[in-house]
Chain A
C-alpha cells in the first residue's frame, strides 16, 4: 500500500494546508512538522506492514481530502 499526500498549487490549492488531523488521529503513521503540515506532503510513501488501517484512517479524517491511498 502507498500513500500520496498532495501538496497543491502555490502551497494551498487542493493540497495539505496543515490541519494536522492525520497525525492527531493516526499518529502511528502520519507525522507533521512544527507548523502542523504533513512531513510527507508532495511525496508518495510506502505504508509499512501493519499500519494500513492507520493510513486509511488518517486519509478519512483529512478535511482537505488530499491524502490518496493506493491499495
Chain B
C-alpha cells in the first residue's frame, strides 16, 4: 500500500553532532533543548532542520522535562493515536497547576468528539465561504487606511487586525464597537512583554467572552456557533456540559485563530517583498499559484511550532522508551520541513505542486479553523497585491518563539 510509514532505523545524534550543536547554538539541542531559549528564536529554522534531520527523539531537561519528535512519521504516530498520547493533560510542557483546561484542544474522546461534532459544521468549507465578501471588504478597509501613507507597520496595522475582525465579526457576531479592545486584548494578552499587562488583557478577554456567552444565551437564537456553544453538548454519560466547559470552548476558538493567522500572513508579506519574481507570478496568475502559495506559506511559516501530549502508558517512540506520564511534543513546524517527505524542504517555492505539511496539525485535533485561515490569507494576498503590487521591506521583522512563533513588527513601504 502506498504512503504507509516506512520502517525506519532510528539513530540518535553522534557526539560530532552534539559538538556542532554546542558550537552553533551554545547548547546541546538534542539532549538539553529549550523551546523558550532565545537561540531558538534567533536561529529558528536552522535548529528545526537539525532536529528533524538528526534526532528522532529530542529531550529537554527544563522543569519536569519533556521530549520532542519532529520527523513527519513520528509526529503522525503521536498525533493520530490519542489513546496513547492524550491531550487531556494540556498542550504545553510544565503546565502550571490550577490552570483551567481549554476544550476541545485539551480533551480526549468522548468529550472531544461531542464538541467537535457540533462545532465542525460552523467552521466547514461551506459556512466559511459565506464570509468571503465581508473579509475582502475588511481587508480593503485596512488597505484604505495605509495606502496613501506609502508605508506601514504591517503587523499592527493589518496582520494582527484582519484575523481578529474575521473571527469576531463573522463567527462570534460581537458588536462592532467592541472589536478594537478585543483585538488588542488577544494580541497583548498573548504577547505583551509586560507580564502584568499580559495577565490583565487576557483576563479582560476571558471575562468578555464569558459575559458575551451569557448574554447570548438569554437572547433569541441566531443559529450561529455561539448559540451552539451556549446551549452546550451532551456528554456520553448523558450529562450536560458544565458552563465552564462552554466558556473554555469559546476561549479556545478565540485564541486558536488570531495570532496564528497573523504570523503566516505577515511572514508571507515579508517574503513576497523580498522575492519580487515569485510575487509577480502571484500577481499575474493567481488562479494557478495562490492555492499553492498559501499551502507553502503555512508549511514554512508554521505559527504552531510544537504542541504536546501526555503518554497514557509506557511506549516506544522513535527508538526510545517513554514512560507513562511522560510529556512529548510534536514539532509540527519540523514535520513540514522533513526531507524524508518534502523535496527541497528548506526552499520556499510557491510553484510547488504538491505541498505536504502538518501546519494545521494531524489527528483528531487538526485545526478546526483552517478553512477560515486560508480564506483570510487568500483575501489578504489578492486584495493587497491588487492594490499595492510593489512593496519592499524597510526594517527587517522581529520575532518571538516558543511553542508558538509570532512576528512582532514588519515595516514595509511602497
Chain A residues proximal to chain B, CB less than 8 Å: 8, 10-14, 17-20, 23-25, 32-36, 57, 59-61, 63-65, 67-70
Contact = CB atoms under 8 A, between A and B. Distances in A.
Contact of A61 (B2, B82, B356, B366): B356
Nearest to B358: A63
Given A63-B360, A65-B76, A12 B124 contact: no
27 contacts: A8-B80, A12-B82, A12-B113, A13-B81, A13-B82, A13-B363, A13-B364, A14-B80, A14-B81, A17-B364, A18-B366, A19-B360, A19-B366, A20-B371, A24-B374, A33-B124, A35-B120, A35-B121, A36-B125, A59-B2, A59-B3, A60-B356, A61-B356, A63-B361, A64-B362, A69-B2, A69-B3
Nearest to A24: B291
B126 interface: yes
A43 to B, nearest CB: 16
Contact of A60 (B125, B354, B362, B366): B354
A70 B80 CA distance: 23
A57 B353 contact: yes
B125 A64 contact: no
B31 interface: no
A63 B3 contact: no
B291 A17 contact: no
A61 to B, nearest CB: 6
Contacts of B357: 63
A56 to B, nearest CB: 9
Interface string B47-58: 000000000000
Interface string B256-291: 000000000000000000000000000000000001
B109 A63 contact: no
Interface string B357-378: 1101111101000110010000
A33 B360 CA distance: 19
Lowest 9 CB-CB distances: which A-B pairs, in order? Answer: A12-B364, A35-B120, A60-B354, A65-B3, A35-B124, A17-B366, A14-B80, A34-B126, A36-B124
Contacts of A24: 125, 291, 374
A59 B4 CA distance: 12
Interface of B: 1-3, 76, 80-83, 109, 113, 120-121, 123-127, 291, 295, 353-358, 360-364, 366, 370-371, 374
Contacts of B109: 10, 12
Given A11-B364, A13-B364, A17-B366, 16 more contacts: A10-B113, A11-B113, A12-B109, A17-B363, A20-B125, A20-B371, A24-B125, A24-B374, A32-B125, A33-B124, A34-B126, A36-B125, A63-B358, A63-B360, A64-B362, A68-B1
Contacts of A70: 1
Contacts of B2: 59, 68-69
B404 to A, nearest CB: 19
A13 B366 contact: no
A24 B361 CA distance: 17
A32 B126 CA distance: 10
Nearest to B127: A34
Contact of A34 (B80, B82, B121, B353): B121
Contacts of A32: 125
A18 B360 contact: no
Nearest to B332: A63
A1 to B, nearest CB: 11
A25 B352 CA distance: 12
User: Which of A36, A60, A63 has the largest count of B CB atoms less than 10 A from its CB?
Assistant: A63
B125 A13 contact: no
A57 B374 CA distance: 19
A4 to B, nearest CB: 8
B371 to A, nearest CB: 7
